[in-house]
Structure 1
Amino acid sequence: MLFRNFCRSIFVGLPIGVTFLDTVGYVARVEGVSMQPVLNPGAKNSDYVFLSRWSVREYDLKRGDIVSLISPKDPNQKIIKRVVALEGDVVSTLGYKNQYVKVPEGHCWVEGDHTGHTLDSNTFGPVSLGLVNAKAVAIVWPPERWQNLETKLPDHRRPITRSI
């Protein structure tokens, strides 16, 4: 009887949990220094962020959003970067093969906050919106770092021209 109730709970709970994680969002650990000082400001600890799948379901991104995406260099790796430019924007690059790039339709330009210590669009170019899978909305661990993540773009990284 106890075993049957346990199996029934798993049979009902597992699909609900998977649906929640796939539709609403999940918590993930952020590793590395590419998003410092916003994420992982200390060398010892990693931040854990809530990644909202719901907020990117229609690819409605804003400049300054911090997003999780599949790495264009390694499809088995997820990376977290800030959206600097959207389709139609012209961005001044930092070491990319062209000094200026117009972001093509269906793409965005992403960069890490820690310039020079990040693999981002300055390495691999504009990123297809189809690779974006979630938006980081809050730091949830450690407790002393609990905070919502702002959608902001440093003045020195604003696009040269913006699409409307």
Structure 2
Amino acid sequence: MAQTGFGRRYFKAFVSGFFVAVPVTVTVLDRLAYVARVEGASMQPSLNPDGESSPDVVLLNRWSVRNYQVHRGDIVSVLSPKDPRQKIIKRVIGIEGDFIKTLGYKNRYVRVPDGHLWIEGDHHGHSFDSNTFGPVINELVLTKDKIS
């Protein structure tokens, strides 16, 4: 009979812990940080240097993006302008007001408009980035890499 009481207490503690842990975890992932897997060659060699055989996992910071604390050199996760269901990870090359020398964009030099960023992959020529679609509006930026 003692075993039954122990099992019920254990189950009760597990259930109450579960109902506390799940909302806390969802809040943290929604407001503060996000874990993402980096696949593909566009950010090589900085991220995913071994290619598809061992994708990198990064911790992306939602808080600084929410407060518009994105700087040149930061790695950000952005909703793809081509397919809004897809997220792409790129490096911020220019912020609003910067003049950028592009790599194959329709204009050789571009001034980044207010409220926009210029993003590029580290592996030029293997990246779908601002050189393809132009400056990205700040609202498409989802997260910033915590390690950048």
TM-score, with length taken from structure 1: 0.79
Offset from partner CA, 1:125-164 (integer Å, 9 cap, x none)? 10011111111123xxxxxxxxxx4xxxxxxxxxxxxxxx
- Structure 2: gaps (5+ residues): 1-7
The one of 15, 29, 34 equivalent to 1:26 is: 34
Structure richer in helix, relative to its length? 2
Equivalences for 1:40-119 in 2 at 5 Å? 40-43=48-51, 44-119=53-128
CA distance in 2, matches of 1:60, 1:51: 13
Query: Could you tell me which residue of structure 1 aligns to residue 4 of structure 2?
Result: none
Quick one: distance in 2 between partners of 1:4 and 1:75?
Answer: 42
Identical-residue share of aligned pairs (%): 60
Gapped runs of 5+ residues in structure 1? 139-148, 150-164
Query: Aligned letter for 2:40?
Result: G
- In the TM superposition, what is the alpha-carbon distance from 1:9 to its structure 2 partner? 2.7
Deviates more, 1:68-77 or 1:1-10: 1-10
Aligned to 1:158: none
The Cα shift of 1:123 comes to: 0.6
CA contact (8 A) 2:91 2:122 kept: yes
RMSD of aligned alpha carbons: 1.5
Secondary structure of the residue that 2:16 maps to in structure 1?
helix
The CA deviation at 1:4 is: 4.7
| Alignment size in residue pairs | 139
Looking at structure 2, the residues matched to 12 and 104 of structure 1 have their Cα atoms a distance apart, in angstroms, of 44
Match of 2:18 in 1: 10
* Displacement of 1:48: 0.7
